Structure 1
Amino acid sequence: MIKISFTLKIKDKIEDMELPHDDFTIEDLFNQLELSSQLYVPKQNGEIVIKENKINDGDEIQLVQIIYGG
């Protein structure tokens, strides 16, 4: 069986991750990592995307933390 993987960038970490199934979405990734989608903006291959986007083999997913302040 061929491994399907993507690269995850979060904070200062870069990690290669395997896709658990074909229809794995960014929302699934948030759930797997136990992160709130209200605290991070997802980027897929350099473009800001919605959490319902499907992750594909070879994608680069970056989770950019939202900074609140006044």
Structure 2
Amino acid sequence: MEYKLKFKDINETRDLKENFTIRNLLDELELSAQTIVAKQNGELTIEDSVINDGDEINLVQIIYGG
């Protein structure tokens, strides 16, 4: 079982662990949910969403400014 991850320079297929969530992925990448928006198969998703076999996960960095 695998999923595809896209984030900045990362564009790779990764092995999928059982009950692996967006939150687990962010923790693994040492990223904060406060600065990242996750899309699962093109749709905005929440941290508790489970990643399924074949999913495409796109992480987008939020840019703050003023």
Bin for the TM-score computed over the shorter chain:
over 0.9
Match of 1:53 in 2: 49
The separation in 1 between residues aligned to 2:20 and 2:8, in whole angstroms, is: 22
Gapped runs of 5+ residues in structure 2?
none
Q: Secondary structure at the match of 1:8?
A: strand
AA partner of residue 56 (structure 1)? N
With the length of structure 2 as denominator, give the TM-score of the two structures: 0.94
Partner of 2:31: 35
Pairwise CA RMSD of aligned residues?
0.8
Amino acid at match of 1:33: L
How many angstroms apart in 2 are the aligned matches of 1:69 and 1:34? 22
Amino acid aligned to 2:15? E
Return structure 1 stretches of 4+ with deviation > 6 angstroms: none
Aligned pairs, how many? 66
Indicate yes or no: 2:13 matched with 1:44.
Answer: no
The 5 Å alignment of 1:1-70 reads 4-21=1-18, 23-70=19-66
Report how far residue 34 of structure 1 moved.
1.0
1:35-54, Cα deviation, whole Å (9 max, x unpaired): 11111100000000101000
3-state SS, counterpart of residue 60 of structure 2: strand
Normalized against structure 1, the TM-score is what? 0.89
